[in-house]
Structure 1
Amino acid sequence: MDKKEYSRRKKIIYSFICDKLYTPMKLKELCIFFGINKDGRDSFKEMLDELCLDGKIELTKRGKYVKAKEKEIIGTYIQNPRGFGFVEFEESEEDIFIPPDEINGAFNKDKVVVKILSSPEGKRVEGSIVRIVERAIIKVVGVFQKSKNFGFVIADNKAFLEDIFIPKEKCNDAKNGDKVLVKLTSYGGNNKKPEGAIIEILGKAGDKGVDVLSILKDYDVPVEFPEKVLNQAGRVSKGLLEEDMYERRDLRDIMMVTIDDITAKDLDDAVSLSFDGKYYELGVHIADVTNYVQENSALDKEALKRGTSIYPVDRVVPMLPPVLSNGICSLNEGEDRLALSCLMKIDTNGSILDSEIVESVINVDRRMTYVSVSQILEGDENEALKYRGFVEMFKQMSELSDILRRKRHDRGAIDFDFAEAKIILDENGKAKDVITYERTKASMIIEDFMLAANETVAETFYWQELPFVYRNHDKPDNEKLNFLASFIGNFGFSMHIGEEVHPKEIQKLMDKIEGCEEEALIKRLTLRSMKQAKYTTSNSNHFGLAAKYYCHFTSPIRRYPDLQIHRIIKECLRGKLNDARKLHYENILDEVAAKSSKAERQAEEIEREAVKMKKAEYMKKHIGEEYEGVISGMNRVGIYVGLENTIEGMIHVNDMIDDYYEFYEDRYEMVGTGGGRCYKLGQKVKIIVSSADTHLRTINFVFAG
């Protein structure tokens, strides 16, 4: 029997079994029905087995074949402003395309049940939303428009496609042009608009800070702390008590400094260093926040709920109340503070020969900034004179930093070193400039020392086999890396992709492209091929750092996982981590890791959206101006162009009026069908700013000339 006939017969059997006119039958009964003799029974059984494997039919406990129950596929719906959407899944790289007429009332980020409509080979799977499991959007931020007998709100969220009807009695005295927070009372459907009630007026659209506040409210981020939390923070922040220092290592006589951005107020890490000509004694001293934030207290519950501090352009939304994070928990100059200190003995090859983690009392000698330390290391005599007692230590820090960085590089750690945008705001909170943030030698010193401490702590507790929260970064999928390897071949670069890729292969590529025109582009595509780092309770290495053991230990003021593992460390040091406490942590840490990972992703998204909005605000003042940029991406809709200051805009294919262009995804090229003009990734082009929209957070270009 040929494949075509075999496939035809399978379809007949499937149709028969799924027909409601027929009752379920056993194998023997089916053979009799289809006239299958003994010789053909094995082949017939093989067809039935394949249909079972395909999930089309099932075998009951009584040995009868029935139509398979339709499995519910649950995922998160992501709405596109153009009317269609996708359903994404946490454990799968593949998403499902949802056409506009198959959305069935779902809103952005709803948890939904989806069924597969089609799964053509080599093309995106299409589906239909059959049920909404959980609504994600309960509150919506937008601009209020008032009518005589009612009002409506135009949502800021570009994925929210419909205006929201507001009954007159639920307008809450809002006026035209107000930015408002709406609580949805109905999600609409059957030709009815969504309906809601205004619960908060944020201010007039365009007023200082209202734009960023709107983003925070749109993500339902708690901006203010509950009164109970503030009262508790006020009670525990009065000052350092004598009993708090009992049985701690007194390190107040050791010279140490904090090195941070000039605007930083929550200083949670200090560093000390000495060198005897053979060994470096590095101390990384982290604020002991757990002394003030007790487990299951109101402060602790609020910190877990927030998960992380957020930094959206013009403000900080802290994880802990400022009275703590900027006060007793901050390692302020000249003040006694409680800390957890990771003390490391390091040789001149960068190997950590010995380490100790201790509860300590410290006193920071100087509050340094990245700018100041960098100036000293660059030979600024005035700055060196100002801090003359510390200059030698800073030089030793620079030496050790180089050693540690070189050692990480040798083992294969990847350093993407992207240019980051810094938004300069005027006195009214408007974007007046966008510049690239310069990575300084001083910031690299702190980065290297924090990485060393994080790895040391992770390894120490891994070998003790205690419940812990690790920071893992899984290996990338080979499919994505194979695409990357194929793509970079267009620029004359190559990389070896075997069954298992080592981070050193990625690092070698980063070294090869350094300084070339395509560097930023290839770095971006390489980063996209990487998986997202996350918090877990099992250690499975950190691919990007090429580290066997890694955790987050160094920022308990602004990251909950750091705060959580500080508790475990302290209980271990005090000999209180008995079986009952181990079981307690085993029961709670999976949830802590999952919530922290989710909070981190949301914080990054908020910060990214705020930056995009401010970039659009800045470019609105430069419409009609010409710039040179590099093609940084493309799809069927158009071409993305990145400028030197990190601003990126799109040239819509409809605005490429000199020809009709087609996009070739396999080689990422946009080619004119008439004249044959070709645009490629990495190509330098001149553009003119055509429009910018702070509401949609988009910037549009057209080609110059």
Structure 2
Amino acid sequence: MKQLPTKEQVLEWIKDNPGKSSKRDVARAFGIKGSDRIELKKILKELTDEGHIEKKKRNYTGAGELPPVSVMMVLPPDENGDLFAKPLEWDGEGDGPRALIMAKKGDPALGANDQVLLRLSPSNDPDVKYEGRLIRRIGSGPQRILGIYRVGSEGGRLVPVDKKADREFIVPGAEAGGAKDGELVEAEQIGKQRHAGLGKARIVERLGDPMAPKSISLIAIHQHGIPDHFPDDVVAEAEAAKPVALGDRTDLRALPLFTIDPSDARDHDDAICAIPDDDPKNEGGHVVWVAIADVAHYVRPGSQLDKEARKRGNSSYFPDRVVPMLPDALSGDLCSLHEGVDRACIAVRIVLNAKGRRLHHEFHRGLMRSPASLSYEQAQAASQGKYDSATEPLAGPIKDLFAAYASATKARNERQPLNLDLPERQIVLSDEGVVTSVAFRDRFDAHKLVEEFMVTANVCAAETLEQKRQPLLYRVHEEPSPEKLESLRETAESAGLTLPKGQVLKTANLNKLLDAAAGTEDAEVINLTVLRSMTQAYYGTDNFGHFGLNLKRYAHFTSPIRRYADLLVHRALITAHGWGEDGLRPEDAEGLSDTGDWISQTERRSMLAERDTTDRYLAAFLSERVGNEFSGRVSGIARFGLFVKLDETGADGMIPLSNLGREYWVYDHENKSLKGDRSGRVISVGMPATVRLAEAAPMTGGLLLELIEVGGKPMPKGDSGRRAPSKKRKLVKGRKKKKR
């Protein structure tokens, strides 16, 4: 009989060999065979009973330990944007030890509640027990659903607010969580997803009255997981901030650096002015100053403010509220360039010649004092000689600024950035949160002026950081894919326009197409189709240029109050110029690529939430006009129906194929059109249409329309709820049956 190991020896071996810890592995390690295995079994049972080890299926692990390969559930990103996972099976106290997911190139993007198989290893970070490498994603965790709870005779129902949802859910009585009829709730799916019938859900949070004033944006905020509550330590850090003294900063308080923003702007993070250049070598030129709030002074790397700002990524804007990236003590006060008070800034001095071309530029960390906070309307009126009490003292600086813009416009026209003409919708709410009107914002030269000089300042930031070999995040916009270009070309041809083939695509080519469509009934559709052909802009460390602006290099610098990317560019400029200890840390520079991926995601998250909110407000506004007729234009064609954009509000509504009359409609994917198999009528993108509003659902933002007239021809009246194939189609179907 071989001498058996002691309990201490067995325990030590199990901890040293977590990947080989079955009873057979232990027996093989100590050379235990035959009847001696019974004694080994007793040792393992004693160690288990004493709490030193745990048996998981056929393996043993140290108490409080996870197997080297574990099934885990992904948690929401933390304040640093890192993904952790928790074990799905855990018998100890609490949720069990977490594992930091160490993603490698080629891994799929993971989201909260995803179930994953991870290979675990001990972490060197004292705050993290395990690091996990993805073996494979097993599936998604419990689906989260935002919806309206309805009480039924046998339990309740959950009606999702997402207009893409195609089914309701049963809520068993025990899973209702005290929810009341008509309440907005968040739920999670329970049980397996059914292919037919209704799934089941459990209420996890009650959110109150969905029709309460200004609740529509809250639905989108919650649905898209946008953080809208600042932790106490973040607020305390912001409120402890103090105004900045001049110190070593450049004194810019004598410059007429005023702000121009929307009349309802919540913050003012950029100011501009222009002065005729007195250099005789630059006759007719200007010196343009663009000053941006010095947010980096207040939001220091690694601080609680910094972690929360990175977590949010950007501010989110809704008709009734803003979810800011920074607390109000900063965004609404110390980092807002209010008139008449000293404010810290980072400014760029740009010298333009008479043709608007940039000769040189330089950055300063300064202190400024704005003489006025103007609206676009005020600035535009003043440029035309119509002054008020705020603009009259600035008559000269306003004239100089618009003169500099006139020069910059010459250079812009030579550069040929993409010149889309898409009006911006403005939803006006009453104090109670009810939509009073939907209009399109006026667009003035004052808007274009601010945009042009902000773009110029952003280019200056990218160039300076490249010259100083400082890591940075670029704003990247790649050219359209060949597939999207072909789709655009087909739309243009259907409107009698052309987009040439066989040449390197330039923005000038697209601008020619837009100019040819201008003033025609196809102008809006062509503009929309060009926009849809564009790729999604993103933040990245590799410079692939900005196609839409036709720029070789571009970085976001001008909005650090509301975009984390701009804050990082400010820190990079601080480090590059040696302005202080609040610049870009080496560890932050190394993580720029991951940060770029993260804030690109948060930007898309905000865009989707803002779009969903607009759709819901438009549906609420139109809900009282169900049955009315509207003019519009076909904006999209799909296999299941078509979309029409209403002229009056810009809202999009859907018309299912089943509502297009009795004939069978054939979907042409290449031409994005529908063709009736009896009449031969073709419905394509861009056609004018008259529709009747059949249904408006404020909770989902969905509009259901009935097509009355398209392309100047009325739709035939009759049973609109059926599609009857032609006789030819019936014969074909009959032949198929015979072959069976």
Query: Shorter-normalised TM-score: what interval?
Result: 0.7 to 0.9
Q: Which residue of 2 aligns with 1:135?
A: 140
Instruction: For 2:150, give the aligned amino acid.
Output: Q
Provide structure 1 residue ranges, at least 5 long, that are not aligned to the other structure.
1-90, 96-105, 114-129
Instruction: For 2:494, give the aligned amino acid.
Output: N
Larger displacement relative to structure 2 (670-679 or 146-155): 146-155
**2:471 paired with 1:471:** no
CA distance in 2, matches of 1:407, 1:581: 33
- Secondary structure at 1:213's aligned position in 2? helix
The question of whether the paired residues in 1 share the 8 Å contact of 2:379 and 2:391 is answered with no
**2:484 paired with 1:480:** yes
Distance 1:347 1:186, change over 3 A: farther
Instruction: For 1:474, give the aligned amino acid.
Output: E
Q: Which residue of 1 aligns with 2:258?
A: 257
Alignment of 1:648-687 (within 5 A): 648-657=652-661, 659-687=663-691
Q: CA deviation at 1:522?
A: 1.1
CA distance in 1, matches of 2:618, 2:111: 27
Distance 1:604 1:133, change over 3 A: farther
The question of whether the paired residues in 1 share the 8 Å contact of 2:382 and 2:395 is answered with yes
Q: CA deviation at 1:658?
A: 5.7
Q: CA deviation at 1:131?
A: 8.2
Q: Which residue of 2 aligns with 1:275?
A: 276
**2:699 paired with 1:695:** yes
Alignment of 1:303-314 (within 5 A): 303-314=309-320
CA distance in 2, matches of 1:133, 1:154: 28
Instruction: For 2:634, give the aligned amino acid.
Output: I
The question of whether the paired residues in 1 share the 8 Å contact of 2:234 and 2:308 is answered with yes
Q: 1:368 aligns with which of 365, 374, 381?
A: 374
Q: CA deviation at 1:408?
A: 2.3
Distance 1:526 1:112, change over 3 A: farther
* TM-score, with structure 2 as normaliser: 0.73
Instruction: For 2:366, give the aligned amino acid.
Output: S
The question of whether the paired residues in 1 share the 8 Å contact of 2:176 and 2:202 is answered with no
Instruction: For 1:406, give the aligned amino acid.
Output: K
Q: 1:182 aligns with which of 183, 187, 211?
A: 187
Q: CA deviation at 1:432?
A: 2.7
Alignment of 1:570-609 (within 5 A): 570-574=574-578, 583-609=586-612
Distance 1:493 1:111, change over 3 A: farther
Instruction: For 1:247, give the aligned amino acid.
Output: D
Instruction: For 1:377, give the aligned amino acid.
Output: S
**2:625 paired with 1:622:** yes
Q: Which residue of 2 aligns with 1:559?
A: 563
Distance 1:680 1:156, change over 3 A: closer
RMSD: 3.0
**2:384 paired with 1:378:** yes
Q: CA deviation at 1:698?
A: 1.5
The question of whether the paired residues in 2 share the 8 Å contact of 1:167 and 1:197 is answered with no
CA distance in 2, matches of 1:628, 1:537: 46
Q: CA deviation at 1:609?
A: 0.5
CA distance in 2, matches of 1:189, 1:402: 63
Distance 1:665 1:173, change over 3 A: closer
Instruction: For 1:562, give the aligned amino acid.
Output: D
Q: Which residue of 1 aligns with 2:223?
A: 218
The question of whether the paired residues in 2 share the 8 Å contact of 1:373 and 1:394 is answered with yes
Q: CA deviation at 1:692?
A: 1.3
The question of whether the paired residues in 2 share the 8 Å contact of 1:139 and 1:220 is answered with no
**2:327 paired with 1:321:** yes
- Secondary structure at 2:266's aligned position in 1? coil
Q: CA deviation at 1:153?
A: 3.1
- Secondary structure at 1:390's aligned position in 2? helix
- Secondary structure at 2:316's aligned position in 1? coil
Q: CA deviation at 1:278?
A: 2.3
Q: CA deviation at 1:108?
A: 12
Cα distance per residue 1:589-630 (max 9 Å; x no partner): 011111110011111000000011111111211111122222
Instruction: For 1:182, give the aligned amino acid.
Output: A
CA distance in 2, matches of 1:193, 1:682: 40
- Secondary structure at 1:642's aligned position in 2? strand
Cα distance per residue 1:391-427 (max 9 Å; x no partner): 2322232232233233223222102121121112233
CA distance in 1, matches of 2:473, 2:504: 26
Percentage of matched positions with identical amino acids: 28
Q: 1:416 aligns with which of 415, 420, 431?
A: 420
Instruction: For 2:212, give the aligned amino acid.
Output: D
Q: CA deviation at 1:653?
A: 2.0
**2:299 paired with 1:293:** yes
Cα distance per residue 1:106-148 (max 9 Å; x no partner): 99996999xxxxxxxxxxxxxxxx9854637664322223468
- Secondary structure at 1:627's aligned position in 2? strand
Larger displacement relative to structure 2 (666-675 or 249-258): 666-675
* TM-score, with structure 1 as normaliser: 0.77
Q: Which residue of 1 aligns with 2:634?
A: 631
CA distance in 1, matches of 2:436, 2:629: 18
The question of whether the paired residues in 1 share the 8 Å contact of 2:572 and 2:584 is answered with no
- Secondary structure at 1:389's aligned position in 2? helix
CA distance in 1, matches of 2:189, 2:675: 46
Distance 1:435 1:246, change over 3 A: same
Distance 1:665 1:176, change over 3 A: same
Instruction: For 2:688, give the aligned amino acid.
Output: K
Q: Which residue of 1 aligns with 2:55?
A: none
Larger displacement relative to structure 2 (445-454 or 143-152): 143-152
**2:406 paired with 1:393:** no
- Secondary structure at 1:222's aligned position in 2? coil
CA distance in 2, matches of 1:176, 1:661: 41
Q: Which residue of 2 aligns with 1:453?
A: 457
CA distance in 2, matches of 1:275, 1:518: 43
Larger displacement relative to structure 2 (602-611 or 151-160): 151-160
The question of whether the paired residues in 1 share the 8 Å contact of 2:179 and 2:203 is answered with no
Distance 1:442 1:636, change over 3 A: same
Distance 1:513 1:160, change over 3 A: closer
Alignment of 1:232-247 (within 5 A): 232-236=237-241, 239-242=242-245, 245-247=246-248
The question of whether the paired residues in 2 share the 8 Å contact of 1:482 and 1:497 is answered with no
Q: 2:160 aligns with which of 150, 155, 160?
A: 155
The question of whether the paired residues in 1 share the 8 Å contact of 2:244 and 2:343 is answered with no
Distance 1:189 1:566, change over 3 A: same
The question of whether the paired residues in 1 share the 8 Å contact of 2:274 and 2:404 is answered with no
Q: Which structure is larger by alpha-carbon Rg, 1 or 2?
A: 2
Instruction: For 2:338, give the aligned amino acid.
Output: N
CA distance in 1, matches of 2:271, 2:139: 44
- Secondary structure at 2:393's aligned position in 1? coil
Q: Which residue of 1 aligns with 2:643?
A: 640
- Secondary structure at 2:645's aligned position in 1? strand
Q: Which residue of 1 aligns with 2:363?
A: 357
Q: CA deviation at 1:680?
A: 2.8
Q: 1:527 aligns with which of 519, 528, 531?
A: 531
- Secondary structure at 2:475's aligned position in 1? strand
Alignment of 1:38-187 (within 5 A): 133=138, 135=140, 139-146=144-151, 151-160=156-165, 163-164=168-169, 171-182=176-187
Larger displacement relative to structure 2 (404-413 or 186-195): 186-195
Instruction: For 1:368, give the aligned amino acid.
Output: L
- Secondary structure at 2:591's aligned position in 1? helix
Q: CA deviation at 1:468?
A: 0.5
CA distance in 2, matches of 1:677, 1:162: 33
The question of whether the paired residues in 2 share the 8 Å contact of 1:467 and 1:582 is answered with no
The question of whether the paired residues in 2 share the 8 Å contact of 1:162 and 1:194 is answered with no
The question of whether the paired residues in 2 share the 8 Å contact of 1:185 and 1:197 is answered with no
Q: 2:448 aligns with which of 439, 444, 448?
A: 444
Provide structure 2 residue ranges, at least 5 long, that are not aligned to the other structure.
1-104, 118-134, 278-282, 709-713, 715-740
- Secondary structure at 1:462's aligned position in 2? helix
Q: 1:338 aligns with which of 335, 341, 344?
A: 344
